[in-house]
Amino acid sequence: MNIYRSHVLICGGTGCTSSKSDKLQEKFEKLLVEKELDKEVKVVRTGCFGLCEAGPIIIVYPEGSFYSQVKIDDVEEIIEEHLLKGRIVKRLLFKDAIVEDIVKSVDEVDFYKKQKRIALKNCGVINPEDIDEYIALDGYLALGKALTEMTPEEVIETVKDSGLRGRGGGGFPTGLKWGFTAKAEGNQKYVLCNADEGDPGAFMDRSILEGDPHSVIEAMALAGYAIGSNQGYVYIRAEYPIAVERLQIAINQAREKGLLGKNIFGSDFDFDMEIRLGAGAFVCGEETALIASIEGERGMPRNKPPYPANKGLWQKPTLINNVETYANVAQIILHGADWFKEMGTEKSPGTKVFALGGKINNTGLIEIPMGTTLREVIYEVGGGIPNGKKFKAVQTGGPSGGCITSESLDTPIDFDSLTSIGSMMGSGGMIVMDEDDCMVDIARFFLDFTVEESCGKCPPCRIGTKRMLEILEKITSGKGEPEDLDRLERLAENIKVSSLCGLGQTAPNPVLSTLKHFRHEYEAHVNEKRCPFPHLRINSI
Amino acid sequence: MDTVIIKINDERVEVPNDFTILQAAKKMGIDIPTLCYDERLESHAACRMCVVEVEGARNLQTSCSLKVADGMEIKTHSERVIQARKDILDLLWANHPNDCLTCEKSGECKLQEYCYKYDVKETTFEGKRKNYEIDDSSPFFYNNQNKCINCGKCVRVCSELQHTNAIGFSERGFNTHVSTPFEIGIDNSVCVSCGNCVSVCPVGALMPKSKEKFRLWETKKVRTTCSYCGVGCQMDLLVKDNKVVGVQPANGPSNNGLLCVKGKFGFNFINHPDRLNKPLIKKDGQFVESSWEEAYGLIVEKVNNIKSEKGSEVFAGFTSARCTNEENYLFQKLFRAGIGTNSVDHCARL
């Protein structure tokens, strides 16, 4: 094994790849060979560093120099100055990584200081296409420990004790789910991973699969051992090509090493898994629709009960968790439930990954301990609102969530507190709005999304959300009447209680919460017959 | 079978533990409205009309899918439930043509029935409505998606019972509609025109191409056995003014409420002017109506003559699958014992 004096970590997440980090890697590798440095300096293509705003990002170790927005022409300078002469290229450092001419390493940058990385532990650290790098950082140690030292019941107990709750949005206790599926009767059981992340602006699961696919594979194998299943499926949307490719590479490598397949770690436990591609329907992130889609049916939700734990994929007991949930599991098994409980809050232990977006300086991916306040996230990790504008609201939970106003900025983030202030954790989208944003238009944007994505099965969602959107469009185009607000509210409540699945039941939330906190903006539209804000329609966030 | 005790509308009842709430309510004579429910199909829980209030549950529950549990307390017609049903009807109406006056389904349309029952007199919503071209490519029925309420019964009957899978849902959200794959039209699809989709449609979206104008309330239902083959499907003939104007499947032991294309749509011969109602005898090169006595007499005479001249073996009998088993039995008996030949056969053997 070669010992390198320097490592150049290049972000290979979707954000940085789209700003041509792959070309940077080629150039680095080419120039290093030319300058005969390739035996001394290793280039590693990693997963997402999180700070997508500043991409493409390169970190050079051992210094931890955090270069941002690196261009192809900068590569030569980094090699010449930094890697040959040992002089950090200050002009290329991320703005917070150099304060009053003092260079900070990546860990000291504000963006990372408040973060605690468990699910994203290896993202931006290892090469996700090399299983040895994962193993070098204790990868598959948890699986080995479980198979050789723990009974399936002990694995479930540990997950239960840790208090881990589903990171896909529902916050259901993961250990309980595992327990139910373990107890369910059936000769065949399945372990599913929900990687059909679809909230606008959310890319937590994508980044985990792109940056650390083995953490999910290991956790699914652990789940298989715990519930008595030998087959897993990862349902992932086809619009995540990098994640799909890296996950497939990871599965293949795990098979080669005997970490998937027959008699794993010499035990009598067999487990293997396959990828199933989704065609991009948001509703397929709903677990029963996801199951229908894997079965080859149209992706429409099924009524619950029966729950997947009893009757899931092909009517067999099925455990389904999302990517981020799985990404926590191996760590919990390895370090124990108490270690996990030390982080976060009592009822929501651990951390949560959020995709920060909208009117915020540090757009990107963050992982914070539960209990961190929204203010800390927005002003410290997120670096505040651009252009000195005033904060107006933050939307959590994506199109299923609600907006949170400045009065609630000191709320500690956890499942229950977000629900109590009228929003929800959701899968981790966090979109910040400033004083220029029209909240009616924000509600219209999210509703437009759910109307598009409704599967059409039940009338409240199929027709009701469309009617809501029409009323909203009437209001935003200055044609609203005072009674439209009541009509909107009543219809929203009706859709909430009578829709079949979570998509419909939560679709009215953005409207209800903006009506609650910003009713005056709705009224202004109706009374003034126009939008009172410099009206920029949001088509994408 | 284990049973559980539940309370529906404050009345205690003991029911099998695999019952749904809907089945339990039915047993008690409580009518819960449904649009997408069919006892022969997997529960779909889509229409939301059958919602009930279950003590302890956050949201309303669909009674067609939720199984009973010991101690469950259910309200089938509480104020909240009735309001939810009204809201659903309001929404369905908001995307349905308001043409009951001329709609052929009027009188047996479930949407019409429930709007009447729940006092939904108009929709409270404006907005876009469906606007699809009517697919009239099938020789037997129309698919008018503008009237469809997306209950999915047609799709599920086609898939789960008929196993043809000719139709499914296309697009999603507000644009969801029932069609053939790639919108190629019913006639170009794998549809076998069994019409079971038409029979289960609760509204006027799938309607037979009827030759007669009639209202359901003008007809009398006559239960009979389909005459086309030996399966013995049960059906109701819709009879108006002594004329068969339509067929609805009935639930018999051999057909489970299903029919095939012949049984469902092949009834026009019954009242067709070309249909022979009396025997014809050729006299002087012309067919002339005669009495059955005369016709039978002629047949017997000719058979006897031929038999005595040429023997029994020159005869062969061929009967039809449209006769009953008893008739076919008698036919072969006639040929074997009466005429004296074993040359007797039946079309269904081919």
Please check the confidence at residue B349 and state whether its pLDDT lies above 80.
no
CATH topology of domain A351-434: Ubiquitin-like (UB roll) (3.10.20)
Classify residue A261 by its DSSP letter.
Answer: B
Average pLDDT of span B144-152: 97
Nearest chain A alpha carbon to B87? A494
Residue A86 to chain B, least CA–CA distance (Å): 58
Contact B37, B44 (CB under 8 A): yes
The amino acid present at A111, given as its one-letter code, is F
Please work out, in degrees rounded to the nearest 5, the angle formed at the alpha carbon of residue B256 by the alpha carbons of B197 and B349.
Answer: 95
Contact B33, B25 (CB under 8 A): no
Question: CA-to-CA distance for B212 and A485, rounded, in angstroms?
Answer: 49
- Note the pLDDT of residue A385: 95
| A439-528: CATH number | 1.20.1440.230
Q: Which residues are paired to A8 by β-bridges?
A: A43, A60
Instruction: Provide the strand spans (E) within chain B.
Output: 3-8, 11-16, 51-54, 61-62, 73-75, 141-143, 168-170, 177-179, 206-208, 220-225, 234-240, 243-249, 280-283, 286-289, 317-319, 344-346
Q: Give the residue carrying structure tokens 């983030």.
A: A413
In degrees and rounded to multiples of 5, residue A337 shows phi and psi of -65, -35
Contact A435, A392 (CB under 8 A): yes
pLDDT band at A513 (very low <50, low <70, confident <90, very high): very high
| B130-209: CATH number | 3.30.70.20
With an 8 Å Cβ cutoff, are A302 and B91 in contact? no
The CA-to-CA distance between both ends of chain B, in Å, stands at 46
Q: Look at domain B3-92 and name its CATH class.
A: alpha beta
Contact B258, B196 (CB under 8 A): yes
Residues of A in contact with B171 (CB under 8 A): 456
pLDDT band at A408 (very low <50, low <70, confident <90, very high): very high
Listed residue (B217, B225, B282, B279) closest to B245, CA to CA? B217
When computed from its CA atoms, the radius of gyration of chain A, rounded to whole angstroms, is 24
Question: CA-to-CA distance for A433 and B296, rounded, in angstroms?
Answer: 94
In this structure, the number of other CB atoms found within 10 A of the CB of residue A261 comes to 14
Question: CA-to-CA distance for A108 and A106, rounded, in angstroms?
Answer: 5
Classify residue B229 by its DSSP letter.
Answer: S
Select from B51, B95, B168 the Cβ nearest to the Cβ of A463: B95
pLDDT band at A170 (very low <50, low <70, confident <90, very high): confident
pLDDT band at A530 (very low <50, low <70, confident <90, very high): confident
Alpha helices in B148-233 (DSSP H): 153-156, 196-200
Q: Which of residues 295-324 of A touch B (CB under 8 A)?
A: 298, 300, 302-303, 305
Select from B65, B171, B175 the Cβ nearest to the Cβ of A303: B65
Spans of all domains in chain A? 6-106, 131-341, 351-434, 439-528
Listed residue (A244, A219, A206, A280) closest to A50, CA to CA? A206
Sign of CA dihedral A204, A205, A207, A208: positive
- Note the pLDDT of residue A540: 40
Listed residue (A124, A96, A109) closest to A12, CA to CA? A124
The amino acid present at A483, given as its one-letter code, is E
A297-306 pLDDT tens trace: 999 999 888 9
Please check the confidence at residue A537 and state whether its pLDDT lies above 90.
no
Q: SS3 of A194, please?
A: strand
With an 8 Å Cβ cutoff, are B172 and A458 in contact? no
Contact A191, A178 (CB under 8 A): no
B311-325 pLDDT tens trace: 999 999 999 888 888
Cis previous bond, A306, omega within 30: yes
pLDDT band at A2 (very low <50, low <70, confident <90, very high): confident
Contact A453, A228 (CB under 8 A): no
Residues of B in contact with A300 (CB under 8 A): 169
Cα dihedral A369, A371, A373, A377, rounded to 10, equals: 10
With an 8 Å Cβ cutoff, are B91 and A487 in contact? no
Indicate the average pLDDT of chain A: 93
Do you know the residue count of chain A? 541
Please tell me if residue B296 touches chain A, with a CB cutoff of 8 Å: no
Counting residues of chain B whose pLDDT is more than 70, the rounded percentage is 99
A188-227 pLDDT tens trace: 999 999 999 988 888 999 999 999 999 999 999 999 999 9
Q: Which residues contact A157 (CB under 8 A, 6 or more apart)?
A: A175
Give ipTM to 2 decimals. 0.89
Do you know the residue count of chain B? 350
- Note the pLDDT of residue A489: 95
Please tell me if residue B116 touches chain A, with a CB cutoff of 8 Å: no
H or E element that contains A207: helix A204-211
Please tell me if residue B21 touches chain A, with a CB cutoff of 8 Å: no
Give me the architecture of the B221-273 domain, per CATH.
Single Sheet (2.20)
Q: Which residues contact B165 (CB under 8 A, 6 or more apart)?
A: B158, B159, B190
- Note the pLDDT of residue A535: 54
Global confidence as pTM: 0.90
Please check the confidence at residue B350 and state whether its pLDDT lies above 60.
no
Cis previous bond, A308, omega within 30: no
Residues of B in contact with A497 (CB under 8 A): 59-60, 84
pLDDT band at A1 (very low <50, low <70, confident <90, very high): low
pLDDT band at A98 (very low <50, low <70, confident <90, very high): confident
A452-469 pLDDT tens trace: 999 999 999 999 999 999
Choose from B61, B72, B91, B176 for mutation: most chain A CBs within 10 A.
Answer: B91
Listed residue (A273, A230, A234, A226) closest to A254, CA to CA? A273
CATH topology of domain A131-341: Rossmann fold (3.40.50)
Question: CA-to-CA distance for A335 and B176, rounded, in angstroms?
Answer: 49
Tokens read off for B61: 């529950």
Residues of A in contact with B63 (CB under 8 A): none
- Note the pLDDT of residue A539: 45
In this structure, the number of other CB atoms found within 10 A of the CB of residue B135 comes to 21
B75-127 pLDDT tens trace: 999 999 999 999 999 999 999 998 999 999 999 999 999 999 999 999 999 99
Spans of all domains in chain B? 3-92, 130-209, 221-273, 280-349
Sign of CA dihedral B150, B154, B155, B156: positive
**Which letter, b or e, does each residue of B305-333 get, where b requires 16 or more Cβ atoms within 10 Å of its Cβ?**
eebeeeebeebebebebebeeeebeebee
Residues of B in contact with A465 (CB under 8 A): 173
Q: Which residues contact A55 (CB under 8 A, 6 or more apart)?
A: A11, A13, A15, A16, A19, A21, A68, A69
Q: Count CB pairs under 8 A between chains A and B.
A: 95
The amino acid present at B281, given as its one-letter code, is I
Residues of B in contact with A305 (CB under 8 A): 65-67
Sheet with A41-46, strands from edge to edge, namely A41-46, A6-11, A58-61, A65-67
A99-108 pLDDT tens trace: 888 888 888 8
H or E element that contains A222: helix A213-227
Please check the confidence at residue A296 and state whether its pLDDT lies above 90.
yes
Please tell me if residue A505 touches chain B, with a CB cutoff of 8 Å: yes
Average pLDDT of span A4-20: 92
Average pLDDT of span B12-33: 96
Select from A305, A454, A494 the Cβ nearest to the Cβ of B172: A454
With an 8 Å Cβ cutoff, are B150 and A456 in contact? yes
Q: Look at domain A6-106 and name its CATH class.
A: alpha beta
Sign of CA dihedral A366, A371, A372, A375: positive
Please tell me if residue A48 touches chain B, with a CB cutoff of 8 Å: no
Q: Give the largest CA-CA distance in chain A.
A: 75
**Which letter, b or e, does each residue of B88-119 get, where b requires 16 or more Cβ atoms within 10 Å of its Cβ?**
bbbbbbbbbeeebeebbbeeebbbbebbeebe
Counting residues of chain A whose pLDDT is more than 90, the rounded percentage is 85
Listed residue (B213, B230, B187, B189) closest to B328, CA to CA? B230
Counting residues of chain B whose pLDDT is more than 90, the rounded percentage is 91
Tokens read off for B157: 């009957």
In this structure, the number of other CB atoms found within 10 A of the CB of residue A167 comes to 28
